[in-house]
Amino acid sequence: MQNVFQGRSLLAEKDFTKEELMYFIDFAAHLKDMKKRGIPHRYLAGKNIALLFEKSSTRTRAAFTVAAVDLGAHPEYLGKDDIQLGKKESVEDTAKVLGRMFDGIEFRGFKQENVELLAEHSGVPVWNGLTDKWHPTQMLADYLTVKEHLGTLEGVTLAYAGDGRNNVANSLLVTGAILGVNVHIVSPKSLFPEEELVKMAQSFAETSGSSILITDDVDEGVKGADVLYTDVWVSMGEEDKFAERIALLKDYQVNMDMIQKTGKEEVIFLHCLPAFHDTETAYGKEMEEKHGLKEMEVTDEVFRSKHARHFDQAENRMHTIKAVMAATLGNLFIPHV
């Protein structure tokens, strides 16, 4: 009997049930424990995994690489300047070629349509490592981190402050709604998530019993939050928008004032990373020179505070990605979810 995950792709969270997403999260916790205890879990021995990256990455690339090696598979990095994808060869043709050589494909890029085309034409599981629309593997790590620190997901309130219509905000909203987490998107009106997406989240929330709030009012949006989350104000591919976003989002910065506004002493702070919290990067220096800002979406004080859990979250990328690859490619015995 094949398990319910075998051969499936992870393109968007909406394609999975609450029970299936929870299985990934709990399986990741189990794999994390096995790794810490040195117990081998080479469920993908002899398999080959292609890692396609159109955009740069630290965590996602490192997580897929280490997870593949821990599972006994061989990961092969194929960057945008290494292969023909999109320039000399269509996504469809690339998918057909890679599917004949590799057992699974990770894709990070711009268009959601491209990760879907890869899945349609490769014949092997395809895992979305971030597109402009969704960041599903990030979600599994994020909600695992929340569960580790708060003990549960049901009834937890997560407030996301910042660019409310980027991939991470979209994914947090929909995934949270599926999982029974109350999600508040706190952003200026012009950066609210698309109407269609809010409707989708609302319909999932009705089933899971959670609630969704989309607001431009910071006080209302962060009040009662157990988790405060933010992401960069300018995502990859939008680098010409810094001035516009700073003007729009300066009042949505996660700082100690916002932490206090949650009214929760034990609130945890999450960020998918990388973060602009100081001037120790080329972009950080440029922001200081051009806009007089030393920190953007989160202050250095919050980033280094007792509330911060983003490095646990970053580590969890690896354990959760490992769970997804093993469940969808490992022929594991999973009698029910």
Asked if residues 275 and 310 have their Cβ atoms less than 8 Å apart, the reply is yes
Choose the catalytic residue: 59, 231, 253, 277. 231
Q: Which of ligand NVA, ligand CP, none binds 58 (CB below 5-8 Å, type-dependent)?
A: ligand CP
Q: Which of these, 266, 276, 335, lies nearest to 306 by C-alpha position? A: 266
Q: Phi and psi of 41, rounded to 5°?
A: -145, 65
What is the DSSP-derived secondary structure letter of residue 194? P
* Contact flag: residue 106 with ligand NVA (CB under 6 A): no
Dihedral angle at the C-alpha atoms of 13, 85, 77, 49, nearest 10 degrees? Answer: 60
Per CB under 6 A, the list member of 58, 190, 207, 281 interacting with ligand CP is 58
Q: Which of these, 305, 240, 308, lies nearest to 273 by C-alpha position? A: 308
- The count of chain residues that interact with ligand CP, using the rule CB under 6 A, is 8
Asked if residues 313 and 145 have their Cβ atoms less than 8 Å apart, the reply is yes
Per CB under 6 A, the list member of 20, 54, 116, 231 interacting with ligand NVA is 231
* Active-site residue, 138 included: yes
Per CB under 6 A, the list member of 4, 34, 213, 236 interacting with ligand NVA is 236
How far are the Cα atoms of 35, 232, 246, 285 from residue 314, in angstroms, in the given order? 16, 15, 26, 24
* Active-site residue, 272 included: yes
Q: Which range binds ligand CP by CB under 6 A, 54-62, 86-94, 261-269, 283-291?
A: 54-62
Work out whether the CA dihedral 91, 93, 96, 99 comes out positive or negative.
negative
* Active-site residue, 135 included: yes
Q: Phi and psi of 286, rounded to 5°?
A: -65, -40
* Contact flag: residue 130 with ligand CP (CB under 6 A): yes
* Contact flag: residue 316 with ligand CP (CB under 6 A): no
Query: Scanning residues 253 to 282, which ones bind ligand CP (CB under 6 A)?
Result: 272-273
* Active-site residue, 108 included: yes
Q: Which range binds ligand NVA by CB under 6 A, 38-46, 101-109, 165-173, 212-220?
A: 165-173
* Contact flag: residue 174 with ligand NVA (CB under 6 A): no
Q: Which of ligand CP, ligand NVA, none binds 167 (CB below 5-8 Å, type-dependent)?
A: ligand NVA
Cis amide leading into 274 (omega within 30): yes
